[in-house]
Amino acid sequence: MDQNSYHKYFSTILSIAALLAGWELLALAVNNPALPGPVQSLDTFINEVPRGLWQHFLISTYRVFTSIVLSLVLALPIGMLLGREQHLDRFAAPVIYLVYPIPKIVFLPVLATLLSYGDISKITLITLVVFFQILVPIRDASRNINAALINSVKSLGAVRFDVYKHVVWPAVLPEMLTSLRIASGTAIAILFFSETISSQEGLGYYLLDAWSRFAYDEMFAGIIAMGLLGLVIYFILDYLEHLICPWKFV
């Protein structure tokens, strides 16, 4: 292991330790069963994982990942196009600005009725939210590309496809990853909400179920699982950034 990644691991461990220490102090100060400390919560977490928590975690992970990938596959080409082709954007922008601010959660009853209470309604709901959250930044990044770069590439004989391939696509990648980081937090929040309303499985259901039984340590085991889900997404995005944006790290 080289010096750099050693430092990185060290600071990761340090920051998690600081979080746990803060949690412990808060739990001691509050001194209420509703806020168990990290030791007790982790203990319950480890016991709960083989007893069903693992399945809930996998189902939630599947729902979040599918939604994010689906949103990306839709938002990336559309965002790139709307940023560059003004005549399309003039048509699409009013629709985007009308639909974007609506809290999509209000559609859950409709989706649940139309698409059943299973995975599809939840994935559709999360996708509806995340799609706009990544579409708008990608479109803006695509629109704000330095005109000199485009002209330079055109002067080399580039047709429209070449401009998209060599300029627009790589130019929107960093913005895409930033928007995915923000959207992953939203995705988990929407996931939680949809799973508490109409579900028998998933971390949201697990959490609400523990809450209704006043099993606070189990509730916090569920919260830890949600935190881990976020962490997994964060690491994947970090890895992706190094993989697809190597010029940002020189």
Site for other proteins, rule CB under 8 A: 146, 148-149, 151-158, 162, 166-167, 170-171, 173, 245, 247, 250
Whether residue 141 contacts residue 210, with contact meaning beta carbons closer than 8 Å, is answered with no
Task: For residue 100, give the nearest of 137, 136, 58, 148 by alpha carbon.
Answer: 136
**118 versus 170: smaller Cβ distance to other proteins:** 170
**5 versus 247: smaller Cβ distance to other proteins:** 247
Angle subtended by helix axes 119-143 and 169-197, to nearest 10: 150
Q: How far is the CB of 163 from other proteins (least distance, A)?
A: 10
Q: How far is the CB of 80 from other proteins (least distance, A)?
A: 15
**CA-CA distances (angstroms) from residue 105 to 119, 124, 197, 204?**
15, 11, 11, 15
Q: How far is the CB of 167 from other proteins (least distance, A)?
A: 7
Residue the block writes with tokens 């919560």? 41
**103 versus 157: smaller Cβ distance to other proteins:** 157
**149 versus 189: smaller Cβ distance to other proteins:** 149
Task: For residue 125, give the nearest of 53, 67, 168 by alpha carbon.
Answer: 67
Looking at 144-215, list the stretches that DSSP marks H as alpha helix, in order from N- to C-terminal side.
Answer: 147-155, 160-163, 169-197, 203-212
Q: Please, which residues have CB within 8 angstroms of residue 208's CB and are 6 or more apart in sequence?
A: 195, 196
**3 versus 155: smaller Cβ distance to other proteins:** 155
